[in-house]
Amino acid sequence: MRFSTALLGVTLAACAGSPPPEPTPTPAPAAAAVSDGCASIVAAFLAKPDSTPVTKVPEPIKMEPRPFRPPYPADLLAKGKAEFRATVLVDTLGKADLATFKIQLSTHKWFNNQALNAIAKWRFRPAEIDGCKVPRNYHFSASVG
């Protein structure tokens, strides 16, 4: 079986018993421009996720569970080789947006739910362009046989 593949850091602070946080400094104009730049870049990518090249493509960082594991259906390899291709939008948090899951090719219906259920649990490193995390389609393909 072959798989082809194309961090969200979260910091939490305990609130109980801690002193109030220092006031947040006002961002410099350049920082505000970068922030606004990312917002407009993200909006553009949501409209057309594959329209512009990125510096980093989305890639799985946690591929558990594996989508296609034996035992395979008896008729899966009836044509000698079974193939599957799909796309799904990976958001800026590294999660697959299952509403965008599209099957491009499936030689057996068994693949369809197996892939959807697995990819729903995967975590991705989101795509980036110019330091901004952007939504981008992830292209998944697999073959057996």
Residue 19 lies in a domain: no
Banded pLDDT at 77 (limits 50, 70, 90): confident
Banded pLDDT at 36 (limits 50, 70, 90): low
Model confidence pLDDT, tens digit, residues 90-132 = 999 999 999 999 999 999 898 898 999 999 999 999 999 989 9
Whether this prediction's pTM lies above 0.85 is answered by no
Please report where in the chains the tokens 């798989």 appear, as a residue: 3
CA-CA-CA-CA torsion sign (90, 95, 98, 101): positive
Residue 40 and residue 134: Cα distance in Å, rounded? 10
pLDDT at residue 82, rounded to an integer: 86
Q: Are 108 and 67 contacting, i.e. CB atoms less than 8 angstroms apart? A: no
Tokens at 68, concatenated: 């296609």
CATH number for the domain harbouring residue 121? 3.30.2420
**Averaged confidence pLDDT in the chain:** 77
Residue 40 lies in a domain: no
Give how many domains the chain has, as a whole number.
Answer: 1
- Domain coverage including residue 72: 51-145
